[in-house]
Structures are given as structure tokens and as C-alpha cells.
Structure 1
Amino acid sequence: MCQAKDVFDVSILDAERILEAYEHMKNMPEFGRDPEELKRAALIMSLTAWETYVEDKVSEEVNLQSRVLQGSQLGDFIANSLEKELKFFHTPNSKKTKDIFERFLGIDVTKYWSWPGYEDPDRTRTKLNEWIKKRGDAVHRSVSDKQTSHLISKPEAEKCIKFLKSLVQVTDTAISQNH
């Protein structure tokens, strides 16, 4: 029952398709400018896929681990606590992600955030936080001066997508190996 990763895999395709649209549209003279907003949209969609993955994964695992308690007062308490927590769970940087998985599953998933190119979990945490900050800028700061440099380049957006795919994979593996 790994639906969280399956949903992520489908959702991250949205970001990849937006980059494909950007590639197609950037050479269309009728626009008169680079469709920079598509790169921002790809960044936003990729990090939204990450946020959805974290929320779905913790819910999936809590439901799985508390199955025998479902319908009981304790089971209802756990389910309601998680539901309330997720209502306010936004922008899953490394600390928020660590905290929610520790609180509900007893595992610091961030200590497993290592793969080739990101062997140091601290570096991975820092990079996630940088992407999260850039997403915030993309959401809240439209580029009004078209002469200034863009918030994100296409290669950067592609790196973000690749990073998040790896992050989901190692997070999924860490949880399955620890429960």
C-alpha cells in the first residue's frame, strides 16, 4: 500500500510537463518574451508534489500502524490528532518533515537522506530548505521587471525535480526499513 509514492510519481509529471511546455513556448515569437512563469510553475508544482507526498506518506503509515486501533477511542484520537496537524502542515522543509515523522512514526527520516551526489544528510536538508525558500519566492514574488534575471532556470528546475524524486525514494525506503 505505497499510494503516497505512486501519487508523487504522477504529480511530479505535472512539473516535467510544464517544463516541456516551457521548452516549446520559449521559441514562439508571438510571446515576445521568455515564458518565465512556466519555470516558476514547474518549481511550485514539484514542491507541491513533495508536500503531498509527505502528508500522504505519514497518513498512510499511521493508518497502517494503527489499524488494530481503528474505531476505538485511542484510534480516533490518533486519527484526529494527525488530521489536525496536517491542516496546519505547510511548506515541508527539513525540520517540519523531521518533526511530523518523528511525532507520528518515531523515525527521523532526515537522517536517511543520503544518495549519490548527496551523501551528507545535512547537505540534503539544506538543499531542501533552499528549494522550499525558492518556492516561496516563486509563489509570492512575480517577476515584474522582465530584464532582471529569472528566479529559476530550466536546468535548476530539472535539478529540483530530480532531487525531489531521490528524496522521496530514500524517505520511502527509510520508512519501510524502520517499520
Structure 2
Amino acid sequence: MSRAIQSFEYGIKDAEELLAHFDALNGNPPPANAEVLKRAGLVMALTAWETYVEDRLVESMEKKLGAVAGSYVGDFVSKKLSQDLKQFHNPNSEKTKRLFLEYLGVDVTAGWVWSNHDPEKAKTALNTWIGKRGDAVHRSRPVNNGAPVAHLIKRDELEKVIRFVKELVKATETFVIKNT
């Protein structure tokens, strides 16, 4: 097991704990301010994914560069990876695929297979969740013209995204181990 997946397991707990806090506050009707916990849970779940990808690439490249660590080539590649990861803010399927192809020579999205998911469905789902994360981060409350506004993410959706990200990491980890 990689250090990256161990770190991910710690990070995803934040999203799970936010969901648990939402459930604890969820009366009938839930308090209006409880919705923020679901948005924060979405952000934390996808941040755990982003961190996993970054950590996994760094960890894999450390192994690949072991023989040339400290040399001009080793330092060049390490600096380039560091720069690329600083710009890796929305870890959608295309950006993730590009980074793994460029640095490890594998299309990691080909390994995104688990029950009820094939690579295309997994890519579509990831891209959708990343889009929602952007909305949660940049638009805390939708504009309201007097009518009640639907919540950005429902409780069952948050549970679903947490489960999805956990499966995505598991599939990615298995694929990277087998193919690098």
C-alpha cells in the first residue's frame, strides 16, 4: 500500500465526519445552516482525491528517479512535476489522465473499473463532481429571487460522492501498482 492511499484514507475521513455532523443536526426540518456541512463534505471528499493524485505521482516518481536523484535530470523532472502539481487545481479525468501519462506513461483512467463503473462512466462522474465542487467553493449560496433555492448537494449525493471517490482511489491504486 502506498503512502498516498494511507494519506487519502485520513483525508476522506473529514468528508465522512462532516456527513455525520449533518446527520446529527438533521431534524425535521433540518436547520437552514446545516447545508453548509454538505457543501464542505463535497469539497473535502474531492480535495482528498486531489491530494491522493498529487501524492501518488510524487511517490511513484521518487521510485522512478531513484537512480538519478540529485542529478541534473532527476532535479529537472522533480521540479517540473512540482510545477505541474501547483497548477493541478481541478483534478478532472482529463487532467489526471494527462499527468499520469506524462510522468508514469500510463492512462490511469483505463483502470477506473469497479462494480457499476467502467472508465467512461467513472470519468463522467468525476467530472460532474469536480464541477459541483467548483460551485460549492465559488458560490456558497445561489442567487434567490424569493423562491426557495435547492441545495447544491443532497445528503444521499454526498454519501454517493464519498463512496465514489473511495472506489476511484482504490481502482487508481491497483492500476498504478500493476502498471508502473
Aligned partners of 1:23 and 1:59: how far apart in 2?
36
Contact 1:26/1:33 (CA < 8 Å) preserved in 2? Answer: no
Deviation at 1:24, TM superposition (A): 1.0
Deviation at 1:147, TM superposition (A): 2.1
| Equivalent position of 2:133 in the other structure | 135
What pairs up with 1:1-179 in 2 under 5 angstroms? 2-27=2-27, 32-33=31-32, 35-118=34-117, 120-143=118-141, 145=144, 147-179=148-180
CA deviation vs aligned residue, 1:157-177 (integer Å, no higher than 9, x gap): 000000000000010000100
TM-score (norm 1): 0.94
Q: List, as ranges, runs of 4+ consecutive aligned residues in structure 1 with deviation greater than 6 Å.
A: none
Aligned partners of 1:96 and 1:87: how far apart in 2?
13
Please give the root-mean-square deviation of Cα atoms over the aligned residues, in Å. 1.6
Contact 1:26/1:34 (CA < 8 Å) preserved in 2? Answer: no
% identical aligned pairs: 46
TM-score (norm 2): 0.93
Unaligned stretches of 5+ residues in structure 2: none
Aligned partners of 1:32 and 1:151: how far apart in 2?
16
Deviation at 1:148, TM superposition (A): 1.3
For the residue of structure 2 that corresponds to 1:149, the secondary structure is coil
CA deviation vs aligned residue, 1:113-140 (integer Å, no higher than 9, x gap): 110011x211110110000001001111
Deviation at 1:26, TM superposition (A): 2.3
Contact 2:25/2:31 (CA < 8 Å) preserved in 1? Answer: no
For the residue of structure 1 that corresponds to 2:90, the secondary structure is coil
